[in-house]
Homo-oligomer: A and B are copies of this chain.
Amino acid sequence: MKKEETAEHLILDAAKDIFQSKGMDGARMQEIADKAGINKAMLHYYYRSKQLLFEAVFKNAFSLLAPQLNTILNDDSSIEDKVRKFTTDYTAFMMKHPYLPNFIINELNRNEDFILKLKENTGFPNLEKFKAQVNTEIKAGVLKPIDADQLFVNILALNIFPFLGKPLVKALTKKDELSYAAFVESRKTEVANFIIHSIKK
C-alpha cells in the first residue's frame, strides 16, 4: 500500500477537494467520508473535528502558495526578470490548482484572525528584500518611482484576479471555457509586459 492510500491521507485528499470547492460552511463531513470511501467516524478519529480537518487542509493549501510568492520576493534577479518569471510560473501553477485562490481568499475573509496563525509559520512571505530591491532600482534609474507595496499588490492583483473572478470575467468578455483558457495562457506574457511597460524607465 502506498503512503497516499492510508486512511489518514485518503481523508485529507478528499477533504481538500470538498473544502476547496464548497468552502468550510458548504462542506459536509459525510460527503468527505464518501469521497474518501471511508467511514465518517474515521474523520474524527484522525482529525478530531471539522474545524481541525479544515485547518489541516487550509494550511496545506497555503503552504503550496507561499513558495510561489517567495519566488518573486527572495531571489537575486532584476525586478524585470522576477516579474516575468513570477507571471509565467504563477499562472501555470494556478491553472493546475484552479480552486486555490478563491478558497484561500474567501476563507481568510470569513475569518480574519485566521491569518495570524499563518504568520507565525516560518516561510510566511516577507516583502523586505523585494521592497529594498525596488528602491535600489529606482535610485539606479532602472525603474520609475513607485511605492514597492503598491507594485507588489499590482503584480499580485494582475496575476490572481483572472482566477478569482473567472465566472464574472468569462461572462463579461463573452468567452467560453476554451477561449478563457487561451486568454489566461496569453496573460503569461501580456501581464508581464503590462507591468514592465509601466515601471521601466
A152 lies within 8 A of chain B by Cβ: yes
The reply to whether the CB of A42 lies closer than 8 angstroms to some CB of chain B is no
Which residues on the B side are within 8 Å of A144 (C-beta)? 197
A96 to B157, CA, bound (A): 21
1/0 contact string of A9-32 vs chain B (CB within 8 Å): 000000000000011011000000
Q: Count of A residues near B, CB < 8 Å?
A: 56
**Does more than half of chain A's interface fall in helix, strand or loop, or is it mixed?**
helix
Q: Mark A139-177, 1 if CB is under 8 A from B, else 0.
A: 000001011011011101110111011111111111100
Report which of B26, B115, B171 forms a contact with A171, defined as CB distance below 8 A. B115
Docked CA distance A157–B173 (Å): 14
Asked if residues A156 and B160 are in contact (CB atoms below 8 Å), the reply is no
Picked from B22, B110, B165, the residue with its CB within 8 Å of the CB of A156 is B165
